[in-house]
Amino acid sequence: MRLRKTLTAAAIIPAGIAAIALSGAGAASAIAPVAEGGHYGVQFNAGETAFLGQINAGDAIESVTSRNQFGVQLAPGSRYDNGTGKVYANLDWLVDEAASRGGEVSLSINDPALWRNQFSFAQHW
Q: For the chain, what are the domain ranges?
A: 2-124
Confidence of residue 24 (pLDDT cuts 50, 70, 90): low
- Higher pLDDT among residues 92 and 66, named by residue: 92
Distance, CA of 119 to CA of 110 (rounded, Å): 5
Distance, CA of 37 to CA of 39 (rounded, Å): 6
Q: Are 98 and 105 in contact (CB under 8 A)?
A: yes
**pLDDT higher than 90, residue 30:** no
- pTM here is 0.78
CA angle 64, 65, 71 (to 5 degrees): 150
State the average pLDDT over residues 89-104: 97
- Higher pLDDT among residues 86 and 19, named by residue: 86
Residue 50's pLDDT is what?
97
- Helix axis angle for 2-25 and 46-54, nearest 10°, is 110
Contacts of 98 (CB under 8 A, 6+ apart): 49, 53, 75, 104, 105, 123, 124, 125
